[in-house]
Structure 1
Amino acid sequence: MKKYIVVAFMMTLIFTLLSACGTPKYAAVPINEDTDKCAICNMQVKDDAFAVQLTTKDGKTYKFDDIGCMNEWTGKNGLEQVGAQFVRDYNSKEWIPYETAAYVFDSSFKTPMAYGIYSFKSKQDAQKFTDEQKKGKLMTAAELKNHTWERTKGMMDMGGNHADQAHSEMNHNMQMGGDDKGMHAK
């Protein structure tokens, strides 16, 4: 009888260990400014507070220069294939899970593609930021699902020619007989 208890215990232990191994572990990957391009607008992804990324359940990572671009990708491709999403804390630039971050929106906030959303690792940090700025609406990831995701013209900013580069590429494409697909023209 004692032998059967030991065997049952060992089988339970093995089953538990094997089932834990099957759970995918997702982690944010580093940004390489020399090669990483936004999966939506094809702009350079800077290693800064606005960089975001997602990993699909099959292990493919997509990087974006603005949280609005990641939202556009999930809108086109569906959330059901997403394994994890990561955003950066505005203050520390630390990668944090999208679902646990706190967000602040204001149409006057400058972001790479003018969506005006900053992410923070805690609600307290986000509240402190809005208090200091005297503007901004606090939001959760769940509330972002109902956000309008409108871009504010003239509010693109990435320390230099990010917006100008997007505009130049769009004009070049149109001059070459192409269109502005993927350049967020609305």
Structure 2
Amino acid sequence: MKKWILIAITVMILSGCGETDFTPRAIEAETDICAVCNMSITHEEYAAQLIEEDGDHLVFDDLGCLIEHINEMDQAELGAAFIKDAQTNEWLNIERAAYVYAPGEWTPMSYHVLAFENTDAAQQWLDGGQQGELLALDDLYGFDWGNHH
């Protein structure tokens, strides 16, 4: 009887491990450091994170660091990636966000790219008198950071 209980418990534990959770986690400012530049994540409102296919979380202090990491990694390992919304500070999936390159805006590693919930929100921000260039995610992967960084 004890053997069957042990088997049942083992099956329940293993079945719970089968699916990877691609939900962003909270940033822990005291201990989290950027996976690219090794800086502390002291300005959480600019934080980004990547969840690898195996469930490992990597955090970044700036969207530019996240993009640099994605450009260098095996795409098969990418599960999901998130960035903070410049207006709401909520996590956004990078594939659904819109971006603005705003050289006059401060970001932790001086990439000067802000994320918005959608193109309309980004355009409204620009229409509010802010200077910048509207970008899509694909633009960021090929962005010449050297000329903008």
Please give the TM-score of this superposition, normalised by the length of structure 1. Answer: 0.66
Structure 2: unaligned runs, 5 residues or longer: 1-16
Native 8 Å contact 1:115 1:151 kept in 2: no
User: Does the alignment pair 1:87 with 2:96?
Assistant: no
Inter-partner Cα distance in structure 2 for 1:121 and 1:150? 26
> Percent identity of the aligned residues?
33
Offset at 1:136? 0.8
- Once the two structures are superposed, residues 54-99 of structure 1 have per-residue CA deviations (whole angstroms, 9 ceiling, x without a partner) of 0000111000000111112122223221100001110110001000
Give the AA of the match of 2:35.
Answer: A
AA partner of residue 122 (structure 1): N
**Deviation of 1:143 (Å):** 2.2
Please tell me the residue identity of whatever aligns with 1:103: Y
Give the conservation status (yes or no) of the 8 Å contact 1:99–1:141: yes
Among 117, 135, 148, the alignment partner of 1:121 is: 117
Asked if residue 101 in structure 1 is aligned to residue 92 in structure 2, the reply is no
Cα pair 1:103 1:138 within 8 Å, conserved:
yes
Structure showing greater Rg: 1
- Residues 1-186 of structure 1 mapped to structure 2, 5 A cutoff: 24-46=20-42, 48-150=44-146
Letter matched to residue 111 of structure 1: T
Which deviates more from structure 2 when the two are superposed, residues 25-34 or residues 140-149?
140-149
CA RMSD across the alignment: 1.9
What residue identity is the alignment partner of 1:37? Answer: I
| Equivalent in the alignment of 2:14 | none
How many angstroms apart in 2 are the aligned matches of 1:121 and 1:87? Answer: 10
TM-superposed CA distance for 1:23, in Å, is: 5.8
**Shift of residue 150 of structure 1?**
3.0
Q: Give SS of 2:68's match.
A: helix
Question: Which amino acid is the alignment partner of residue 102 of structure 2?
Answer: D
Contact 1:114 1:151 survives alignment (8 Å): no
Question: Deviation at 1:32?
Answer: 0.5
